[in-house]
Homo-oligomer: A and B are copies of this chain.
Amino acid sequence: MTIDLWDSKIEAMKHEDLKKLQTKRFKNLVKHTFENNAFYKKRLKDAGVTPSSITSMKDIEKIPFLTKDDLRNYYPFGLVCTEIDDIVEVHASSGTTGKPVVGPYTYNDVELWGEVMARSLYANGLRKHDRMQNSYGYGLFTGAHGFEKGAQKIGAMVVTISSGNTQRQINVMKDFNITTLACTPSYSLYMAEVAEEMGFDPKNDFKLKLGTFGAEAWSEEMRKNVEKRWGIHAAEHYGLTEIIGPGVVSECSENKLHINADHFYPEIIDPKTGETLEFGEEGELVFTTLTKEAFPAIRFRTKDLASMYEGTCSCGRTLPIQSRIKGRSDDMMKVKGVIVFPSQIEAGLMQVDGVSDNYQIIKTKKGDITSLSIEVEPTDERWKEGHIEDLEKKAEDEIYSILNLHVPVKAIEPKTIPRSTGKAKRVIER
Contacts and interface: CB of A to CB of B under 8 A. Distances in A.
A354 to B, nearest CB: 37
B162 A139 contact: yes
A144 B128 CA distance: 25
Nearest to A135: B139
Contacts of A362: none
Interface string A132-164: 000000111000110010011001111111100
A66 interface: no
Interface stretch (A1-9, A81-89, A196-204, A321-329): A81-89
Interface in A260-310: none
Given A88-B155, A129-B85, A152-B88, A161 B138 contact: no
A391 B156 CA distance: 57
A76 B175 contact: yes
A400 interface: no
Contact of A88 (B76, B77, B145, B157): B157
Given A85-B129, A140-B162, 10 more contacts: A75-B175, A76-B175, A85-B155, A89-B148, A89-B152, A90-B160, A92-B172, A104-B157, A138-B162, A145-B160
A176 interface: yes
A91 interface: yes
A89 B157 contact: yes
Nearest to A85: B129
A89 B87 CA distance: 24
A138 B129 contact: no
Interface in A53-97: 75-77, 84-92
A138 B128 contact: no
Interface residues of A, number: 36
A175 B102 CA distance: 11
Contacts of A87: 157
Contacts of A76: 175-176
A217 to B, nearest CB: 24
Contact of A84 (B140, B157, B175): B157
Contacts of A160: 89-91, 138-140, 145
Nearest to A145: B160
Nearest to A141: B160
A107 B155 CA distance: 8
Contacts of A88: 151-152, 155-158
Contacts of A129: 85
A163 B318 CA distance: 43
Contacts of A175: 75-76
A88 B104 CA distance: 25
B161 A139 contact: yes
A64 to B, nearest CB: 26
Interface in A96-151: 104, 107, 110, 128-129, 138-140, 144-145, 148, 151
Contacts of A128: 85
B138 A144 contact: yes
